[in-house]
Amino acid sequence: MGLLAYCRPGFEGECAQELTAHAATTGGGGFARTERGSGFVELVMPDAATHSNASEVSWRTLIFARQLLQTLGRVERMPREDRLATLLPIIEQTPQRWRDAWIESPDSDEGRELAPLCRALNAALITAMKRKRLLDADSPKRLHICLTAPDAAIVASADIEESAPWPGGIPRLKFPRGAPSRSTLKLEEAFLVLLDDDERARWLKPAMTAVDLGAAPGGWTWQLVRRSIRTIAIDNGPMDAALMESGLVEHRRVDGFRFQPPRAVDWLVCDMVEQPRRIATLVAQWLAQRWCRRAIFNLKLPMKKRYDEVQLCFAILRDAISDTGGTIDLRAKQLYHDREEITVFAALD
Ligand SMILES: C[S@@+](CC[C@H](N)C(=O)[O-])C[C@H]1O[C@@H](n2cnc3c(N)ncnc32)[C@H](O)[C@@H]1O
């Protein structure tokens, strides 16, 4: 039938643009259906396309989608006293058995009000699915019911390997005690979402080195120091005193656009509030000059043409690296802890 993506409310337009573009390049086509502020986008595809590569667009490659599911059906006017009576026959009609089932709601104001109902229904659904033998621990699929109103839902399916492993596509991170700013959660989420287990183990090791551009008061530096990575923190503003006592941070009050590292580092991270294309040009320079091996940075998006701006920034990065004869591994997401911005991982291949 199509695809269902969850996104940050207010970014449905960008998510729709991105889904449509991916479906077109994978040979599917289709049109996006969404409502501003709803926190989700549906891509309605012609029947044939559902079975083509278009349904193989992965959550990992999408920037504005927190989760990506295949839609199975829509239900409206569910009786409030017994919603499962409507949902179960739809689930039983599919030949599929399910590893798990999640009832969730979009990250909109209305969606958040439905969260307690989702929790209560989820417990009842699992009990009913067990009774009807619809669950199978070896199944590669997870069932999703997205409640869009108290009496309406979209029934969908996820490939467990190709979807976000968190309900709603939102990793719930606890603010770490001692971290100097809430921004710290952005870098923690970036490590979790943009890297896999193996990459985290290989690329975030003690005694590695990093530069943090726009570091004050030190939330991102704190994440590096927590992994025993020695960090040069660049910012005119003051750094958190306790963080400086770690002995792993060197604070320099210089312009992040002019600073050059005394020797190459493993990581560049950058959270400076600046025009996205200026940041992309700066990171491209760091990678092209081999001043760093890998980078994670934020692109603060303008209000208009945000999707186009991201494409332009990616072109700046790709062109700069191809001019040196190399290729670049680019991954990006609008993280749950991001606001009007996205977070990008870039490395030389
Ligand atoms: C969003 S804050 C960074 C927060 C930080 N990542 C944290 O986790 O605590 C942006 C910082 O960029 C710094 N900044 C902006 N332009 C800069 C520049 N040209 N050079 C160095 N720092 C800059 C600002 O002083 C500000 O402290």
Rounded to an integer, the average pLDDT of 174-190 is 97
State residue 51's pLDDT score.
53
Encoded tokens for 301: 């998006």
Which string of b and e fits 209-230 if b means at least 16 CB within 10 Å? bbbbbbbbbbbbbbbbbbbebb
Say how many Å lie between the CA of residue 316 and the centre of ligand 1. 22
Identify whether the C-beta of residue 12 lies closer than 8 Å to the C-beta of residue 37: yes
Say how many Å lie between the CA of residue 302 and the centre of ligand 1. 18
Identify whether the C-beta of residue 336 lies closer than 8 Å to the C-beta of residue 295: no
Residue 203: partners with Cβ closer than 8 Å, 6 or more residues away: 195, 266, 267, 294
Q: What is the pLDDT of residues 151-178, one digit of tens each?
A: 999 999 999 999 999 999 999 999 999 9
**Taking all residues of the chain, what is their mean pLDDT, rounded to a whole number?**
95
Residue 20: partners with Cβ closer than 8 Å, 6 or more residues away: 30, 31, 32, 43
pLDDT band for position 205 (50/70/90)? very high
CA 248 to chain centre: 29
Please give the backbone phi and psi of residue 290, each rounded to the nearest 5 degrees, phi first: 60, 30
Element (H, E) at 303: none
pLDDT band for position 30 (50/70/90)? confident
- Could you give the C-alpha distances from 194 to 25, 170, 342, in angstroms and in order? 23, 13, 12
State which amino acid sits at residue 203: W
Q: Which of 272, 286, 297, 338 maximizes ligand 1 atoms within 8 Å of its Cβ, making it the mutation to test the pocket?
A: 272
Look at ligand 1, atom 11, and give the residue with the nearest C-alpha: 214
For residue 183, give the ligand 1 atom closest to its CA. 8
What distance in Å separates the CA atoms of residue 30 and residue 19, rounded to the nearest whole number?
Answer: 9
Q: What is the pLDDT of residues 312-331, one digit of tens each?
A: 999 999 999 999 999 999 99
Q: Report whether pLDDT(140) > 70.
A: yes
- In the chain, the percentage of residues whose pLDDT exceeds 90 is 92
Task: Give the binding-site residues of ligand 1, using a 6 Å CB cut-off.
Answer: 180-181, 183-184, 213-220, 234-237, 255-257, 271-273
Say how many Å lie between the CA of residue 234 and the centre of ligand 1. 8
Q: Report whether pLDDT(235) > 90.
A: yes
Element (H, E) at 241: helix 241-244
Identify whether the C-beta of residue 144 lies closer than 8 Å to the C-beta of residue 136: no
Catalytic-residue membership of 300? yes
> CB-hemisphere CA count at 13 Å for 342?
30
- DSSP-derived letter for residue 200 is H
Q: Report whether pLDDT(341) > 90.
A: yes
